[in-house]
Amino acid sequence: MSFTRRDLLKVAGGSAAGILLTPVPWKLLDDVAIWTQNGPWIPRPPRGDVSTRFSTCTLCPAGCGLRVKLVGNHPVSVSPVPNHPRRSSLCPAGLLAHHMVYHPLRMKAPARIASRDDRVDAEAVSLQEVLTAITSAISASDQEGQVAVLDQRPGRAQSTLLKRFVSAQKNGVYLTPPSDENVTAHALNAIMTSPIGSLGFDIEHARSIVSFGAPVLEDSSILQQQMAMKGGERIRVTQVESGRSRSAVLADRWIPIKPGTEAAFAMGLAHVLIADKMYDRSFVERLSTDFSTYRQLASRFTPERAAEITGTSADAVVGTARELGKRTPSIVVAGSADGGSPHQADEARAIWGLNFLLGNIGRTGGIVRRREESFEEAGRTFVLPASRDLASTPDHSIRLLLIDSSAGEATIPWSLVEKKLIPEKSLVVSFSPILSGIAAKSNFIIPTPTHLESTADVATPFGATLPSYALSSPLYQPPTGVVKCEDVLNALTPSTGTVEEEMKRRVGAIHKTGRGKVFKFKDGSFVETRTISSPDELQQSLLDGALWLDSPRPTGARPRFSFLEEGVNGFNRMLTACEKSGNGQGGSYLQALVLMGMPAGLSSPLMTKVYQESNLRQTAQVVLVHPETAGSGMDEGSTVVVETAKGSLRMTAHLDRSVKPGVLQVTTGPDPVGFIPQGFQQKEGVLSLVEVAEDGTWKSTHAVLRKV
């Protein structure tokens, strides 16, 4: 049998047809699809052994535990530490903490900052050039307070170094940014005739909370507590503030008062509590020095009068007060979201004073005494300067301002800082890992390690009921060109010391007390501090991932207190604070500017998921406004100009029927434009429009909204 040409064609044709019935062509097609989708331009995930390490988040003072998954040496994900005594969950920023080292605005060399209009340019300079400029400014200072350090995260080991640096300067002053922490501490110390030391707010054990602007529900711990309560019992939260913050959205009741009328609302509550005899009579009569005067003042603020001033209803005043009085233990707290102004001193006194009226001092679910953080003081052989609020510093008094933003920064208006500087003669140097916020307004930036790049400590968060201490161990090597703040301080003043020495001293002091226990992240176990053999062992535990928690303080005597400042002046001051009608109530063209938002600085580029790729959070370029306020000529998405006495900004209007009429609700950040690395338009945003009052607050600003 011969094999003909025809047979050859048959075999070839048959083979070609038959091969289609085999997996080969489909496998080839599949492979081609995969190869073409995995070109060199597509990023490849890292390869290597998978391991887990523990650390502590330093992005905010809460100090949450971090469980970090590494592939090779690269952290690839972060998850919360289960059963962590402070928080067993994270916030989105904490979940993305391992991204900060790659932030597009990361600075890797000292730089001179030049701002022209909205544009910010950073020109690399040598560290020596910056040191020379600082030394010259120190030499030129000839009056007290001219050499200032602004510590954006007080309480750390590095804060002690900053204080030591200040105390070595002839004209040094240690400053902290205006904050609700400062205002609250001041108010409570002013109310109590003899200070009883550190205080904590036991809000997690309260049955009802009235919050004057404090972001109590931004943090999930209250909600978790609510859900854990049995038998239909839950913490009821009333949020009193003009803006519709996330806490206002989630609260059981939101009372949208006019901005700046918190004191009047508080006094309205006091009126009802006294009139209905729902206050702690024996506590108040035994320990108050001025109850009759206070009662006289409160009598002026009937629910109707309080409602008139605050723009709410008398029912809201009465209902809130009765819940406070009946649903005990109850607590009243004050605060503000990021970018919001701290309360004014008299407002804070009026608000926190309600806790004294309710007898909420030294009992569960109220304001409790906390042990002093002796580890910060113990074993110290040097004297540290007192801290001062930036707002209380005289205007035009600072020649050299060193701003430590290495651990993050408070969101405050630059105008507040600027007015403290000597015009034309001042020098501002920021320690910051990124070119953002206040650092972008400085003359020089010294780039510092960012989160998880150096060992850092987290001391007790403000308002916590138990002192705590944790160490954050590094997961990354800082890049070349990055300088530790302590190296600069020691180059300027050799005796400043190091963060490591200070942390060791603090850990040694904790170990010496033998108090409390250590929570280990790895296995969730608690170890008594007294069973740990040495300070080095305790330090190693903390570095491996652990939290030291002090033991509760025995209940002490309750303090004597005065609701008002002593003398007739106190009555009149509080009366004036309550009678002021606040902004936003007037004509149709003036509105109040309310700041709300998320930290504009150190946030991962992946946060675009919540503010740019969804409507979960508004960007700094959006103004939320009630359609009634916007008027008929303005539509959803209209380009508008928000104008105040300080300037104007072009924004996009979002019409929202849930916003209080008359209020322009604007967030402080983040700004998507901020992630463009070179030659970006660094705008201060809405903070550039606010009017800062003499006391350093910026609660509300008259503004006009115009359509472009």
State in angstroms the smallest separation of the CB of 607 from another protein: 7
- Whether the Cβ atoms of residue 364 and residue 335 lie closer than 8 Å to each other: no
Question: In whole angstroms, how close is the CB of 658 to another protein at the nearest point?
Answer: 4
Contact (CB, 8 A) for 104 and 127: no
Nearest in space to 257 (alpha carbons), one of 706, 700, 704, 631: 700
- Cα 154 → chain centroid: 13
User: Using an 8 Å Cβ cutoff, are 476 and 101 in contact?
Assistant: yes
Asked whether 690 and 644 are in contact (CB, 8 A), the reply is yes
Using alpha carbons only, give the angle 43, 49, 55 rounded to the nearest 5 degrees. 90
Minimum gap (Å) between residue 420 Cβ and another protein: 35
Rounded to whole angstroms, the Cα distance separating 657 from 91 reads 28
DSSP designation for 438 = G
Smallest gap from Cβ 89 to another protein, in A, equals 3
Nearer of residues 432 and 604 to another protein, judged by Cβ:
604
Q: Which helix (H) or strand (E) holds 54?
A: strand 50-56
Q: How far is the CB of 248 from another protein (least distance, A)?
A: 10
What is the closest distance, in whole angstroms, from the C-beta atom of residue 407 to another protein in the complex?
21
φ, ψ dihedrals at 585, nearest 5°: -95, -10
Supply the minimum distance, in Å, between the C-beta of residue 661 and another protein: 6
Least spacing, CB of residue 29 vs another protein, in Å: 9
Whole-angstrom Cα distance, residue 110 to residue 122?
9
Nearer to another protein (CB atom), residue 19 or residue 676: 676
**Cβ of residue 605: shortest distance to another protein, in angstroms?**
4
Query: Rounded distance, CA 20 to CA 552, Å?
Result: 77
What is the distance between the alpha carbons of residues 431 and 633, in angstroms, rounded to a whole number?
Answer: 46
Closest CA to 400 of 133, 159, 151: 133
Using the minimum distance from each CB to another protein, give the nearer residue, 329 or 461.
461
Residue 702 pairs in a beta bridge with: 592
The residue (of 145 and 672) whose beta carbon lies closer to another protein is 672
Instruction: Decide if 283 contacts 608 (C-beta within 8 A).
Output: no
Q: How many CB atoms lie within 10 A of CB 682?
A: 24
Comparing CB distances to another protein, the nearer of 5 and 44 is 44
DSSP string computed for 102-115: G-TTB--S-EEEEE
d(CA 91, CA 96): 9
Q: Which is nearer to another protein, 50 or 383 (CB)?
A: 50
**Nearer CB in complex with another protein: 637/679:** 637
Torsion of CA 518, 520, 524, 526, to 10 degrees: -20
Task: Give the C-alpha distances (Å, rounded to integers) separating 347 from 183, 184, 251, 470.
Answer: 10, 10, 22, 34
CB nearer another protein, residue 224 or residue 495: 224
Residue number with CB closer to another protein (235 or 400): 235
- Nearest alpha-carbon partner for 160 in 378, 385, 372: 385
Q: Closest CB to another protein among 508 and 605?
A: 605
Closer CB to another protein, residue 76 or residue 314? 76
Q: How far is the CB of 497 from another protein (least distance, A)?
A: 33
* Shortest Å distance, C-beta 244 to another protein: 8
Question: DSSP character for 294?
Answer: H
In 3D, which of 87, 48, 58 has the Cα closest to residue 449?
58
Nearest to 565 by CA among 297, 316, 264: 297
How far apart, in whole angstroms, are the C-alpha atoms of residue 650 and residue 662? 19
Q: Least separation, in Å, of the C-beta of 449 and another protein?
A: 15
Which pair of tokens denotes residue 521?
């992240």
Inter-residue contact 251 to 238 (CB < 8 Å):
yes
Q: What contacts 684, CB < 8 A, 6 or more positions away?
A: 413, 414, 441
| Residue with Cβ nearer another protein (93 or 149) | 93
The string of DSSP codes covering 252-285 is SEEE-PPTT-HHHHHHHHHHHHHHTT-S-HHHHH
Q: Is 30 helix (H, G, I), strand (E, B) or coil?
A: helix
Q: Is the CB of 415 or the CB of 608 nearer to another protein?
A: 608
Instruction: Work out the end-to-end distance of the chain between its first and last CA atoms, rounded to an integer number of angstroms.
Output: 92
CB 667 → another protein: shortest distance, Å? 14
CB of 216 to another protein, least distance (A): 12
Tell me the three state secondary structure of residue 236.
Answer: strand
Residues 6 or more apart from 450 whose CB is under 8 A from it?
100, 101, 103, 106, 406, 433, 434, 478, 602
* Nearer residue to another protein within complex by CB, 33 or 124: 33
CB of 303 to another protein, least distance (A): 17
Give me the least distance between CB of 72 and another protein, in Å please.
9
Strands 622-625 and 647-655: parallel
As measured in angstroms, the least distance from the Cβ of 52 to another protein is 14
Q: Could you give the strand order of the β-sheet that contains 546-549, starting from the edge strand earlier in sequence?
A: 456-458, 468-472, 546-549, 517-520, 526-528
80 bridge partner residues: 66
Q: Which residues does residue 625 pair with via DSSP β-bridges, in sequence order?
A: 655
